[in-house]
Structure 1
């Protein structure tokens, strides 16, 4: 491995790239980021009613391309294709978007987790996958959709995103032990949301960046 580990980010939308890059810069600053974008991944999946064999093969091809190009680790930023990453056999880390975040939530032992997304389908999908990851003895998982957050991210309004998430989550803060931000585009608000709510806020970008650093460049013992 070179002195600057190369991390390939495979994305379906540009909005996910910035949060993933920022998280790597914070947790794994020595990493060199390589962005691979296929902006038809979501629309093609939607047209086909979900992932089919061709789309899985296409994502496998992107992962293989990244590894063949010298990536020391791969992070998918689109949760729809997460199962492809988890099924990919490689000697190097290939992470699904929420894989590390779910592991962090499980390890912390939170019993009441609020899943936050900008639209209902993302909220429902992430909550279901989190319940599966936690297993039968896992936490109570609830969810909330915040449409104002989608409007803010589309407008590039960072302050509006923070305001929308705090406003939606604050009434529920006393009922939960942790918050999970279900989309990478919401992650930039994580620190301020945690400060406002007084409970841990976990996001895919931050957890994934930390997991990649631990796997590729662990701290000396």
Structure 2
């Protein structure tokens, strides 16, 4: 595994550190290479939906990663997770994973009332839709409750980490009070830093950096 290279595709700077930290902790012998286009998130929020043009734009980053010689690719932006099937078809030469799939399966295993907390407008509904689709595939009835605070994302971008974490904690507690959820998903990589403020909760709180980093390494090793 010492020679493995994983390409990380980002739509925001805020997703880089959580993923790098997860790889350094669990797979220090794996090299990671970052490919970033912040305009991907700006345009998605502006257009309000994932268009073919945006898929072409993120495909450019995947092609750069493949040209660099990576063994696998991990998409860090939850809002682009719905494009995973098309991206795998476009780039069959390497395993391509997103940050959501394994975390969503784990959430479905842990409860029927699932809370989704997001700080990017598109990420909440995207994660909710994926949860419901996956639940249908395994014939499980679930309820999904979504809370979004773009103000928290702004706080993170301004490096106001305390406010970012506080706003996320407030959303989680609101969902717990109103919906009595069994498990909560922090929908974006950039939210993982707020986990420390939620450790006292009696329900599981899932974040994607460690789950998704393990998933892409496993896929690469399976391909062999």
- TM-score if structure 1 supplies the norm length? 0.83
- 1:143 corresponds, among 142, 146, 158, to 146
Deviates more, 1:49-58 or 1:36-45: 49-58
Contact 1:170–1:197 (CA<8 Å) still a contact in 2? no
Would you say 1:186 and 2:204 are equivalent positions? no
Q: 1:152 to 1:132 in 2, by over 3 A?
A: same
Could you list the structure 1 runs, at least 4 aligned residues long, displaced by more than 6 angstroms after superposition: none
Q: List per-residue Cα deviations over 1:63-121 (Å, max 9, x = no partner).
A: 23312322111111123322333321325320123122112223x24211110012554
Per the alignment, residue 12 of structure 1 pairs with 11
- How far apart are residue 8 of structure 1 and its match? 0.7
- TM-score if structure 2 supplies the norm length? 0.82
Per the alignment, residue 94 of structure 1 pairs with 96
Contact 1:11–1:38 (CA<8 Å) still a contact in 2? yes
Q: List per-residue Cα deviations over 1:117-156 (Å, max 9, x = no partner).
A: 1255432232122212222524211111235522431222
What is the aligned length? 215
Partners of 1:10 and 1:120 in 2: CA distance: 20
Deviates more, 1:120-129 or 1:47-56: 47-56
Q: 1:32 to 1:43 in 2, by over 3 A?
A: same
- How far apart are residue 208 of structure 1 and its match? 0.5
Deviates more, 1:136-145 or 1:33-42: 136-145
Would you say 1:212 and 2:216 are equivalent positions? yes
Q: Name the Cα RMSD after superposition.
A: 2.5
Q: List per-residue Cα deviations over 1:143-186 (Å, max 9, x = no partner).
A: 11235522431222333333322233235437121110112211
Per the alignment, residue 50 of structure 2 pairs with 51
Contact 1:59–1:84 (CA<8 Å) still a contact in 2? no
Partners of 1:132 and 1:60 in 2: CA distance: 24
Contact 1:149–1:161 (CA<8 Å) still a contact in 2? yes
Contact 1:173–1:199 (CA<8 Å) still a contact in 2? no
Deviates more, 1:32-41 or 1:147-156: 147-156
Q: 1:114 to 1:3 in 2, by over 3 A?
A: same
Partners of 2:175 and 2:40 in 1: CA distance: 34
Per the alignment, residue 30 of structure 2 pairs with 31
> Gaps (5+ residues) in structure 2?
none
